[in-house]
Structure 1
Amino acid sequence: MINPDRRGMAGRILMLASLLCLTLGALLAWQVQAQQDERTALVMTVDDAIGPAISDYFQRGLELAEERDAELVVVEMDTPGGLDASMRSMISAMLASPVPVAIYVSPSGARAASAGTYLLYASHVAAMAPATHLGSATPVQMGGGGLPGLGGEEEAEGESESAGEEGADADAADEAAEDEPRRGETAMERKVLEDAVAYIRSLAERHGRNADWAEQAVREAVNLTAREALEQNVTDVVATDLDDLLAQIDGRTVVMEDGERTLATADLVIERFDQDWRTKLLAVITNPNVAYFLMIIGFYGLIFELSNPGSLVPGTIGIISLLLALFAFQVLPVNYAGLALILVGLGLIVGEALMPSFGILGIGGIVAFVIGSVMLMDADNLNISLPMIGGIALLAAGLMLWVMTRFIGLRRRAPRTGQEELVGSEALVLEDFEGKGHVRLMGERWNARSSQPLSRGQTARVTAVEGLTLIVEPLDSAS
């Protein structure tokens, strides 16, 4: 029989365990509900040129904000500009985001230049810290040229000088022409410029900002300080810090994809989403200098592997480096004429090493390599460092010079194989003879012929080889 006291104790233990489970479940549910009720603002940081890595980081941040049902996304920005394709993908993601995005140019001294100006105009809330500025949104000409219309400005100045000699009426006409907005000189410049103007005006009109100044920033590359931007309705807020920003935009109405929304930013919990290893790795690989260096390593690694099959290490490093470089070039604004010149130049330098042409191939390869390296990138903010180009060119020239000196030294060196090697060698006379006899050379017995008498044990020098007969003479006579 079961003791009634033991049965009562077991019941009490079971009841206590049940109460403990219920309590833990209630606490867990309360914590989950508290987390769901907690209103957050996701804060990201963009402090570099706009490129594929920043675009990927920005879009992942928007997805995270949507998953966590954040009230607001704040992007603290300090950028000199960047790639048009990356900027447009960021703007498209921002406009389609269900979470409002505030671009905050900070800290003091930061800027939102070029692509940063477009992003600021596209944001639901455009904010700046004191002592910051924006502008210079003129698209750079393909190939790293100057501002569109610059040649036209110089031409207008030249026309003004010549017209000044003709009279005041011509001067007035030229001044009126200079007041016209910049349109670009070539068809390509006009196409790029007008597309950029239409794009930034559409962003300004969507959020009710100053579209005329936006057009001026594109055509004339003008800039504004934070206070001037607020006064001219380019931005919405000038805030000293993040808390001040959230306090000022509380209750502001913004335009979202599905209509207007009133922001409730008071007492938001700030959650930061910093750049992780993936973003940093992508930023390193897509750095033009790194991609350029990876391409050089990959090219030479494959050359060394093909010249020494079975080495494995150069080939492995080379193929990995080349694949990473090709990935970077896929997302970077590469000028393919420049890339072709680099490959041709490297090929000519290697050709000089394999079949010497007294410097013709090598010098041509270095010239093609340097020109292609300068032309490689189409964006001003992503150009390859000139010292790096010069350093690699000097390294290639040094390698070529070393190869040439080695070949010259080999040509001057005495032969080491064949009949040519025997000429000048010293042989031991095996018997007394004048005319025909025998000598020992390199451990072998040879027929010999001499016009002078030779004695057994005497040393003779080989002067020529005729078939299997050595022409010799006494060593004293030869010296």
Structure 2
Amino acid sequence: MSTGSHARRRVILWLSLTCLLLGALAAWQSQAQQARDTALVMTLDGAIGPATSDYFLRGLDLAEEGDAELVVVQMDTPGGLDAAMRDMISAMLASEVPVAFYVSPGGARAASAGTYLLYASHVAAMAPATHLGSATPVQIGGGGGLPGLGEPEEPADEGGDEASGGKDQTGETASGEGASGQQDASAEAPSGEPGKRRGETAMERKVLEDAVAYIRSLAERHGRNADWAEAAVREAVNLTAREALERNVIDVLASDLDDLLTQIDGREVVMADGTLTLATGELVIERFDPDWRTRLLAVITDPNVAYFLMIIGFYGLIFELSNPGSLVPGTIGIICLLLALFAFQVLPVNYAGLALILVGLGLIVGEALMPSFGILGMGGIVAFVIGSVMLMDADTLNISLPLIGGIALVAAGLMLWVMTRFIGLRRRPARTGQEELLGNEAQVLEDFQGEGHVRLHGERWNARSRRPLSRGQVVRVVDIDGLTVEVEPEDGSS
């Protein structure tokens, strides 16, 4: 009995362990299958900058770690920084997970840097009522000589269509079927034709040709319309979603995410190590929305916020140095200044503009410490405003002019208040030093004419008088010579 009972227990134990192992294996396989059958969906809304690049790169890492089948980026952007855009494209081209950029919802756009990202993606998709284009590189401070925005070097009747696209100085265009249709003729011409814009200076041509070669290489990698891509850079042309599909600029026109996943199921895409066939028919959507880190970086790297942090930091340090031991202004100032310097490190800062701002603020403070009747202060305000306008070197990240004007008005008001205070102080009688003794009353300590002694502010002073004085008489100080005061009797004093 005992031997049979132990045998049954061993069998039951082994069966239980086997069931547990099989269950764990099934659960692990189910989780692995679920991880492989997911599509990671990210959201890119607003200007492309350091925060956007960081968010995108972390999303790609998360997708690779979770063995996601696809990354979908819903995009609505006016453009942004070239450096951040290139970081995103480099990571996307080297990614093990295919990336689909989807311009949505209706009314969204993929302008400027967004057009490059769309061309670089493994799957380019758009929703109805969206558009893309205006990929001409633009820099603040270039005036009319921006790449691709100047007058054509050849006469307009030799191929240039001046009215095409309705282009403005920001590099964005008013898209429309008529405008885009007019420009495609010049866009699809051979690159040697004189009608194509090439920039007016060597630097403009260098930037423009680099941008053209970059977007053409992306288009050729994925078999998309390279001629229109070049036109988007040279002429800032635009296309609607349906026109983009017809001209092989995008791959899919999808109404929503489910429609997108259905249409690209079975599609072959070009990856870094060859081609890959997508299996997206039954993917589970998993969202990776911007977290607190992305939102914080987006706030700090906003040009207006970084600019304001720099101003607060500067004045905080000035107040701390003028009132040592206050601690609060110095603490706030150093934190704000460090945050501003971090933002300027990743933003396209024009260092000449930054130097002008610092010089302007220094002159304004110098006016308060060493009054020059407004010369230093006015020069500081002029340098501050010019430097603020020049500070940012990107069309989508410039500083708000009302903010610049408001801070300049506050600085001018502070300077005016300091000047009026100094003028008022100059008119007041002296409160300290020997000059403060002039006009004060004293009491004669002994009868004398010529030299004697008086009591002034509770002290015994040598005194000199041209008139005879008697003990106890009240006199007034009219002059000071070293430790001797010259006095004269008060009118009506006895």
Q: TM-score normalized by structure 2?
A: 0.85
Does the Cα contact within 8 Å between 1:46 and 1:79 map onto a contact in 2? Answer: yes
Taking a change above 3 Å as real, the CA distance of residues 269 and 438 of structure 1, as seen in their structure-2 partners, is same
Q: Secondary structure at the match of 1:184?
A: coil
* Number of the residue aligned with 1:224: 239
* Number of the residue aligned with 2:173: none
Check if 1:69 corresponds to 2:67.
yes
Tell me the amino acid that sits aligned with residue 288 of structure 2. Answer: F
Check if 1:255 corresponds to 2:270.
yes
Check if 1:36 corresponds to 2:51.
no
Does the Cα contact within 8 Å between 2:140 and 2:390 map onto a contact in 1? Answer: no
- Deviates further, 123-132 or 312-321: 312-321
Could you tell me how far 1:432 is from its partner in structure 2?
5.2
Superposed CA offset, 1:309-341 (max 9, x none): 343333333222222222211111111111111
Taking a change above 3 Å as real, the CA distance of residues 159 and 20 of structure 1, as seen in their structure-2 partners, is closer
Does the Cα contact within 8 Å between 1:440 and 1:446 map onto a contact in 2? Answer: yes
* Number of the residue aligned with 2:296: 281
Aligned match of 1:203 in 204, 207, 218?
218
Superposed CA offset, 1:237-287 (max 9, x none): 111100000011111111111111111101100000111111111111111
Tell me the amino acid that sits aligned with residue 330 of structure 1. Answer: Q
Could you tell me how far 1:19 is from its partner in structure 2?
7.3
Check if 1:474 corresponds to 2:485.
no
Taking a change above 3 Å as real, the CA distance of residues 285 and 12 of structure 1, as seen in their structure-2 partners, is farther
* Number of the residue aligned with 2:115: 117
1:156-175 aligned within 5 A: 156=155
* Number of the residue aligned with 1:107: 105
Could you tell me how far 1:383 is from its partner in structure 2?
0.2
Tell me the amino acid that sits aligned with residue 29 of structure 2. Answer: Q
Taking a change above 3 Å as real, the CA distance of residues 13 and 196 of structure 1, as seen in their structure-2 partners, is same
Q: How many residues align?
A: 460
Check if 1:440 corresponds to 2:455.
yes
Taking a change above 3 Å as real, the CA distance of residues 44 and 152 of structure 1, as seen in their structure-2 partners, is same
CA RMSD of aligned residues (A): 3.1
- Deviates further, 434-443 or 278-287: 434-443
Taking a change above 3 Å as real, the CA distance of residues 420 and 14 of structure 1, as seen in their structure-2 partners, is farther
Does the Cα contact within 8 Å between 1:73 and 1:102 map onto a contact in 2? Answer: yes
Does the Cα contact within 8 Å between 1:129 and 1:238 map onto a contact in 2? Answer: yes
* Number of the residue aligned with 1:164: none
Could you tell me how far 1:291 is from its partner in structure 2?
1.3
* Cα distance in 2 for residues equivalent to 1:309 and 1:438: 44
* Number of the residue aligned with 1:87: 85
Q: TM-score normalized by structure 1?
A: 0.88
Taking a change above 3 Å as real, the CA distance of residues 306 and 13 of structure 1, as seen in their structure-2 partners, is farther
Taking a change above 3 Å as real, the CA distance of residues 149 and 249 of structure 1, as seen in their structure-2 partners, is closer
Check if 1:416 corresponds to 2:414.
no
Does the Cα contact within 8 Å between 1:446 and 1:468 map onto a contact in 2? Answer: yes
* Cα distance in 2 for residues equivalent to 1:300 and 1:17: 76
Does the Cα contact within 8 Å between 2:40 and 2:285 map onto a contact in 1? Answer: yes
* Cα distance in 1 for residues equivalent to 2:384 and 2:277: 57
* Cα distance in 1 for residues equivalent to 2:158 and 2:320: 61
Q: Secondary structure at the match of 1:476?
A: coil
Aligned match of 2:307 in 292, 296, 299?
292
* Cα distance in 2 for residues equivalent to 1:83 and 1:66: 26
Check if 1:192 corresponds to 2:207.
yes
Tell me the amino acid that sits aligned with residue 130 of structure 1. Answer: P
Check if 1:213 corresponds to 2:228.
yes
Does the Cα contact within 8 Å between 1:108 and 1:130 map onto a contact in 2? Answer: yes
- Deviates further, 312-321 or 369-378: 312-321
* Cα distance in 2 for residues equivalent to 1:18 and 1:474: 124
Aligned match of 2:400 in 377, 385, 388?
385
* Cα distance in 2 for residues equivalent to 1:202 and 1:40: 30
Could you tell me how far 1:406 is from its partner in structure 2?
2.3
Superposed CA offset, 1:327-385 (max 9, x none): 21111111111111111111212222222222111111111111111001110100011
- % of aligned pairs identical? 80
* Cα distance in 1 for residues equivalent to 2:278 and 2:482: 103
Tell me the amino acid that sits aligned with residue 192 of structure 1. Answer: V
* Number of the residue aligned with 1:172: none
* Number of the residue aligned with 2:479: 464
- Deviates further, 91-100 or 11-20: 11-20
Check if 1:347 corresponds to 2:353.
no
1:303-322 aligned within 5 A: 303-322=318-337
Taking a change above 3 Å as real, the CA distance of residues 157 and 403 of structure 1, as seen in their structure-2 partners, is farther
Tell me the amino acid that sits aligned with residue 384 of structure 1. Answer: I
Check if 1:373 corresponds to 2:372.
no
Aligned match of 1:143 in 141, 144, 147?
141
* Cα distance in 2 for residues equivalent to 1:215 and 1:457: 102
* Cα distance in 1 for residues equivalent to 2:221 and 2:492: 104
- Deviates further, 37-46 or 251-260: 251-260
- Deviates further, 66-75 or 9-18: 9-18
Taking a change above 3 Å as real, the CA distance of residues 37 and 149 of structure 1, as seen in their structure-2 partners, is closer
Superposed CA offset, 1:404-452 (max 9, x none): 2222222222112232111100123445555554432211233434344
Tell me the amino acid that sits aligned with residue 30 of structure 1. Answer: A
* Cα distance in 1 for residues equivalent to 2:214 and 2:373: 56
